[in-house]
Structure 1
């Protein structure tokens, strides 16, 4: 059975959620997708995280080792190929156990770019935040994506 490496940057950073969705998936390390930024974009069901190219940008990701069954479950969850498509990337991955860095072929889900920026639900953001905390990622990446969404919707009069 061939394993593939999946890059998670949103709700699939949440270890409990991934354990339910993909029981045989294992975290193998973390990485950074350079020259990309995190954005909340949406559909009728809400706004979810995606990544898009941005010079100088960076997105922290968890790297999961997944089986064919796990990948099929992820495809269903991500609405592949209608909502998200897959992109293959080669990234230096820092091993969780070894601390060593190795270049690996990975795949990531990216929302179709024509989707518009949206405001995420607090429930979705908190699931993502839980993942950020468990991997020790800098939460400013999430905060910036939220800010962009709010600016796009002109939420200047929001209560603080």
Structure 2
């Protein structure tokens, strides 16, 4: 069975959520997605996470080894290809450079704030992985700040 490396930066950082969504997925390590920033799109109170190119920023991520069945389940959860598209990115896993699949939100949605429930699930993932929660809090602020003028 073919295995793919999948890069999670939002809801799927949460181990319990991934265990439910993709029971055969295995976490293989933490990494940073460099020159990308974390933002929330989809309007206030219902926005969801995405990453987009941003020089000098970095987003903490978990790499998962997934099967084609896991990927099909993720495609459904992520609204592929309508809400999110897929891209292959290069990240470090230990000392090695590896290629991983990541979901990026399609353009056309307004910035906004996530629901408390959605945010708390991502925050739990950050805490369990030992990631800097300041990055997550900043992403919410950045998504609100840019949205204030609309």
TM-score, normalised by the number of residues in structure 1: 0.88
Of 123, 137, 140, the residue aligned with 1:129 is 123
Residues 1:85 and 1:37: Cα distance change in structure 2 (over 3 Å): same
Whole-Å separation in 2 of the counterparts to 1:137 and 1:44: 25
| 2:138 counterpart of 1:144 | yes
Stretches of structure 2 that go unaligned for 5 or more consecutive residues are: none
CA RMSD of aligned residues (A): 1.7
Aligned to 1:69: 69
Shift of 1:44: 9.3
Whole-Å separation in 2 of the counterparts to 1:54 and 1:90: 15
Q: 1:99-114 counterparts in 2 under 5 A?
A: 101-114=95-108
Aligned to 1:158: none
Residues 1:153 and 1:91: Cα distance change in structure 2 (over 3 Å): closer
Runs of 4+ with >6 A deviation: none
In the alignment of these two chains, the number of paired residues is 149
Aligned to 1:4: 4
Deviations 1:58-104 (A, max 9, x none): 1110000000000000000000000000000121113xxxxxx3221
> Rg larger in 1 or in 2?
1
Q: 1:10-159 counterparts in 2 under 5 A?
A: 10-42=10-42, 46-94=46-94, 101-154=95-148
Stretches of structure 1 that go unaligned for 5 or more consecutive residues are: 95-100, 156-160
